Structure 1
């Protein structure tokens, strides 16, 4: 089976992309960008370009460029993805309430 045929067999889904993005861990906090609540929006365009709108925990985060690049690289590793478009936003600002329930429990926030 050629690479092109394999790509056609892969069904891109938000679930697949979110699972892959769980591999991107904020080194300062030790939680992945999905469970940390940094991913605000995720869209798979008809041409298989993946659009992600995300934020950082603070506007002055020193790891902003590293995290944006890591998210883009992980998305591009997924078979069938044509391109990745990452948009950074601070509207609305991130708050600890955005952390997943599972990680709130682990961090003792519940």
Structure 2
């Protein structure tokens, strides 16, 4: 086992700070960002993996894309940061693009699956 091997039973995606008072507002800000090719917001698509908020209200967001070759790969993290930074109480935002675990359709919310005709 090396440093890259997750411990058995460990989550593949780092948990979010769901108990932080800013969490719901940040989720709503993420829901305002859309992939130009898909008519569903990136949060419901399951592209936002982790929203971590520390005691100083600094926000770290881990996100992925539907595919590494996505035409807006270079721009989308900036769009997310621009949506979250203006929120009252947010001190700083860092958005990181990650590829592990790879995004899959099972990560979509039921609403997104319904909107895209998968349910």
* TM above 0.5: yes
Judge conservation of contact 2:40–2:115 (CA < 8 Å) in 1: no
Q: Which string of whole-angstrom CA distances, capped at 9 and with x for unpartnered residues, describes residues 13-40 of structure 1?
A: 2111101111101111121110110011
Shift of 1:95: 0.9
Judge conservation of contact 1:12–1:80 (CA < 8 Å) in 2: no
Ranges of 4+ aligned residues in structure 1 off by more than 2 Å: none
Residue 97 of structure 2 aligns with which residue? 88
**Superposition TM-score, scaled by structure 2 size:** 0.79
Partner secondary structure for residue 74 of structure 2 = helix
Residue 115 of structure 2 aligns with which residue? 106
Residue 3 of structure 2 aligns with which residue? none
Shift of 1:58: 0.5
**Is 1:71–2:80 an aligned residue pair?**
yes
Partner secondary structure for residue 52 of structure 2 = strand
Task: Indicate the structure with greater strand content.
Answer: 1
Judge conservation of contact 1:38–1:55 (CA < 8 Å) in 2: yes
- Gap runs ≥5 in structure 1: 1-10
**Is 1:14–2:23 an aligned residue pair?**
yes
Residue 61 of structure 1 aligns with which residue? 70
Task: Indicate the structure with greater helix content.
Answer: 1
- Gap runs ≥5 in structure 2: 1-19
Q: Distance in 2 between matches of 1:84 and 1:13?
A: 12
Q: Which string of whole-angstrom CA distances, capped at 9 and with x for unpartnered residues, describes residues 65-108 of structure 1?
A: 22110000111010111100111111010111111101211222
